[in-house]
Copies of this chain bind each other. A is one copy, B any other.
Amino acid sequence: MAYTILGIAGSLRKGSYNKMLLNTAKKLAGEELNIKIYDISSIPLYNSDEEKENFPDSVKEFKEKISESDGLIISTPEYNYSIPGVLKNAIDWASRPADNSPLNGKPLAIIGGSAGMSGTIRSQLHLRQVALFTNMMDMKKPEVLVTKIQEKFDSDGNLIDENLRDHLKKFLNSFEKWITFIKGSRQI
């Protein structure tokens, strides 16, 4: 069965390696996972006063895209031992209103890479804590923690590391099964 996936990168810069990682996932995904990438750069700073009046248009669109999707893939760098503020800000908007958030029950896959050896360990752990409150259904295994990510792509942004390619394929395959699993559970 084919699923529609919303792909979100946690970094806004053009040459972001985590964007490359997300684009690679999009290419590697077979027909079963149709990944559409959503750019969070137009989502304003969260302010609950605005929420009470009316959600900004970009936020409305973001929430609709989440609602229409069968799952999310978030590709995130690590900033200051945590997830980027811009990513958390987008999630803060999407989590509102608390009793009717499109994040509730949504299957979630997390990937990420860093220039050093940490591979975004702290960032991903923290994103799972956010998923606990928002009730996103984050897949646990396999994890994708890319070390020295700058060595994994050529200058055109193409993946040149075969081990990572194989691991991503396995990851995407598991995510498809995970979505099927979560969807099935809703009928129990």
Contacts and interface: CB of A to CB of B under 8 A. Distances in A.
A69 to B, nearest CB: 19
Contact of A117 (B45, B47, B84, B147): B147
A138 B91 CA distance: 22
Interface in A30-50: 41, 43, 45-49
Given A12-B47, A125-B122, A188-B180, A133 B89 contact: no
Can you tell how many copies of this chain the complex includes?
A: 4
Nearest to A177: B188
Contact of A129 (B12, B14, B125, B184): B125
A130 B88 CA distance: 14
Which of the listed residues A85, A119, A133, A188 has the most CB atoms from chain B within 10 Å of its own CB?
Answer: A85
Contacts of A121: 118, 121-122
A128 interface: yes
A132 interface: yes
Contact of A80 (B12, B130, B185): B130
Nearest to A83: B88
A87 interface: yes
Interface of A: 11-15, 41, 43, 45-49, 79-92, 95, 117-119, 121-122, 125-126, 128-130, 132-135, 140-141, 145, 147, 177, 180-181, 184-185, 188
12 contacts: A12-B45, A14-B49, A45-B45, A47-B86, A80-B88, A80-B133, A81-B132, A84-B88, A125-B129, A128-B128, A128-B132, A181-B184
